[in-house]
Amino acid sequence: MFQGNNVKDEAADVALFAELGSSPANMEAGKALDAYGSMPGNRTSQGDGKQAYTQALTQGILNWIRLPRNRWPKEWIGVYKDPVVLLILALYGHPDSGGLWQRHCEKALYAVGFHPLYPECWPSMFWHPKLKLFLGVYVDDFKMSGPSKNIDRHGYS
């Protein structure tokens, strides 16, 4: 885990970040998702984004990190004393990781036909007009409701 409580810049001062925030779905939207899944012929399913944050690349200011010894490749042992490497994947705990993951996730959802549903009030809720699937994203947890046949073919079982 990235230690967000111990981040320094090149001058050993406390590092400042843009604080890209994610926008989780709210309770009202979640209840609508459950209601839609309860309609005749529909169901609700849920799943988890595996290692979600590390699917997103970092952006903006470069970050260099020290790797814990237990994460070193075998060929580093005995060669390096305290290696510092460029952080290229968004790691859990980094102040920008939530926002980077959200952008990555939304781009992937748009690519397969999902569209934001009422984003001003229901952030992180998406609709697929062709498949009639209603999807809620809460950080790296996905919950989808819609016609059973479409969830079976395109969603989580």
- 149 or 101, which is more confident? 149
**pLDDT exceeds cutoff 60 at 5:** no
pLDDT given at position 119: 78
Residue 26 has a CB neighbour count (10 Å cut-off) of 16
Domain boundaries, the chain: 27-154
Residue 32, both tokens: 């609508």
What are the CA-CA distances from residue 118 to residues 1, 25, 72, 85 (Å)? 34, 11, 45, 41
Q: Is the pTM of this model over 0.85?
A: no
Q: Whose structure tokens read 């016609």? A: 147
pLDDT given at position 124: 86
Query: What one-character DSSP code corresponds to residue 76?
Result: G
Residue 141, by phi and psi: left (phi above 0), alpha (psi -120 to 50) or beta? Answer: beta
CA distance 53 to 104: 9
Query: What one-character DSSP code corresponds to residue 20?
Result: -
pLDDT in tens, 8-51: 666 666 555 454 444 556 778 888 999 999 999 999 998 887 77
Is 24 exposed, middle or buried, given 0-12, 13-18 or 19+ CB atoms closer than 10 A? middle
Strand partners, 47: 142
pLDDT in tens, 70-128: 989 999 999 998 888 887 777 777 777 777 778 888 898 999 999 998 877 788 899 99
pLDDT given at position 1: 46
